[in-house]
């Protein structure tokens, strides 16, 4: 009688480190990626930008993917966020966007009255921003399976701020004035933006993004009561459809008092900026939710010993809890030395 040989099934593929951390599963080390990890501090990026304008780069998937793939290879980080910007989403919605040299983004037809909201079109067709999905595909195709691709969008409040101010602002007074004086029109605008963001994030997921992040870069100018009344339901809508498919990261800057409300609005992972210690921020979020953060970006302008020490301090504050993703408390500053970024990544990865 011939012996029966048991056939062992192949071992299940191990999910990427970042995805396991998002799900608060045990990980062999803390994953690390950095907001604005492809940017002006890198000579490879500057070489490409010498040839093309910023908006042209964002709209050229081959170059946008090349920028990020070069960056991941140079830094050795654990995820690739697509190279794009928050604002091109507004163009098919009827906003006239320009990235003016030395001025940053300018919207030439801002929303200043309730009647103006009517010309902010619904984003029914994401093909109008199909170059972003092509960037997701090209980035995914160029990476090892262990490196997930992160898609992203601006949050409704941050997009509304640009729509109303016509660009960036220090105090966002035009935005707040519109919000307080024209509440119905404000909610109409925010709902249009939230629906657009929802469709946009889902399209990125369908193109290959395994995680998506919602950036609320300017919502820290609000207090908790105003956030709850004017923002929270719209951020929740923006995230809900994506959250049914992949892990989501909800990140806002400027006001740690908003952290419990960000959790309420949604997010598998809550991003924490540098204005609060990581342990205190995680306690505010709740230890049953994953967090991301939160080294002060300006620390990367210091010497390498300081970078290593401060990086280890953030890791210590995480307390070896499952669910920590190392990142900066906002994006890398353009003046940052590349060697300091490499020191940060090596420190997190235990090299």
User: What is the spatial distance between Cα 313 and Cα 132, in angstroms, rounded to a whole number?
Assistant: 36
Task: Say if CB 118 and CB 94 are below 8 A apart.
Answer: no
Instruction: Indicate which residue of 20, 41, 45, 162 is catalytic.
Output: 162
For the question of residue 49 being annotated catalytic, the response is: yes
Task: Say if CB 302 and CB 343 are below 8 A apart.
Answer: no
Instruction: Indicate which residue of 85, 134, 188, 279 is catalytic.
Output: 85
Instruction: Indicate which residue of 23, 49, 308, 317 is catalytic.
Output: 49
User: Residue 211 burial (CB < 10 Å; 0-12/13-18/19+)?
Assistant: buried
Instruction: Indicate which residue of 20, 36, 192, 199 is catalytic.
Output: 36
For the question of residue 195 being annotated catalytic, the response is: no
With a CB cutoff of 8 Å and minimum separation 6, the contacts of 287 are: 321, 323
Q: Among 239, 270, 238, 276, which residue's Cα sits nearest to residue 254?
A: 276
Task: Say if CB 31 and CB 291 are below 8 A apart.
Answer: no
Task: Say if CB 135 and CB 83 are below 8 A apart.
Answer: yes
Task: Say if CB 190 and CB 231 are below 8 A apart.
Answer: yes
For the question of residue 40 being annotated catalytic, the response is: yes
Tell how strand 97-100 and strand 104-107 pair up.
antiparallel
What letter does residue 59 receive in the DSSP assignment? Answer: T
Instruction: Indicate which residue of 23, 40, 263, 304 is catalytic.
Output: 40
With a CB cutoff of 8 Å and minimum separation 6, the contacts of 101 are: none
Just list the catalytic residues.
36, 40, 49, 85, 162
């Amino acid at each position: 009688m011939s012996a029966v040989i048991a056939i062992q099934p192949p071992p299940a593929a191990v999910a990427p480190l970042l995805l396991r951390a998002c799900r608060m599963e045990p990980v062999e080390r803390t994953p690390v990626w950095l907001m604005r990890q492809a940017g002006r501090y890198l000579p490879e990026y500057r070489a490409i930008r010498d040839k093309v304008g910023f908006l042209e780069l964002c709209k050229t998937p081959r170059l946008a993917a090349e920028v990020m793939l070069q960056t991941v290879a140079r830094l050795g980080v654990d995820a690739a966020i697509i190279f794009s910007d928050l604002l091109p989403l507004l163009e098919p919605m009827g906003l006239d966007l320009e990235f003016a040299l030395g001025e940053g983004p300018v919207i030439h037809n801002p929303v200043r009255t309730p009647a103006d909201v009517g010309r902010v079109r619904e984003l029914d067709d994401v093909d109008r921003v199909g170059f972003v999905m092509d960037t997701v595909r090209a980035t995914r195709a160029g990476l090892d399976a262990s490196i997930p691709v992160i898609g992203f969008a601006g949050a409704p409040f941050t997009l509304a701020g640009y729509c109303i101010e016509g660009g960036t602002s220090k105090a966002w007074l035009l935005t707040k004035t519109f919000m307080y004086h024209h509440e119905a029109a404000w909610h109409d605008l925010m709902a249009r933006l939230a629906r657009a963001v929802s469709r946009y994030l889902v399209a990125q997921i369908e193109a290959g993004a395994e995680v998506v992040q919602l950036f609320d870069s300017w919502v820290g100018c609000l207090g908790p009561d105003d956030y709850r009344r004017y923002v929270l339901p719209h951020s929740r809508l923006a995230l809900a459809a994506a959250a049914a498919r992949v892990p989501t990261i909800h990140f806002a800057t400027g006001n740690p008092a908003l952290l419990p409300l960000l959790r309420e609005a949604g997010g598998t992972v809550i991003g924490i900026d540098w204005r609060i210690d990581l342990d205190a921020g995680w306690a505010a979020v709740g230890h049953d939710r994953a967090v991301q953060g939160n080294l002060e970006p300006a620390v990367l302008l210091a010497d390498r010993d300081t970078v290593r020490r401060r990086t280890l301090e953030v890791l210590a504050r995480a307390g070896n809890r499952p669910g920590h993703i190392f990142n900066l408390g906002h994006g890398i500053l353009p003046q940052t030395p590349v060697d300091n970024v490499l020191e940060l990544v090596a420190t997190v990865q235990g090299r």
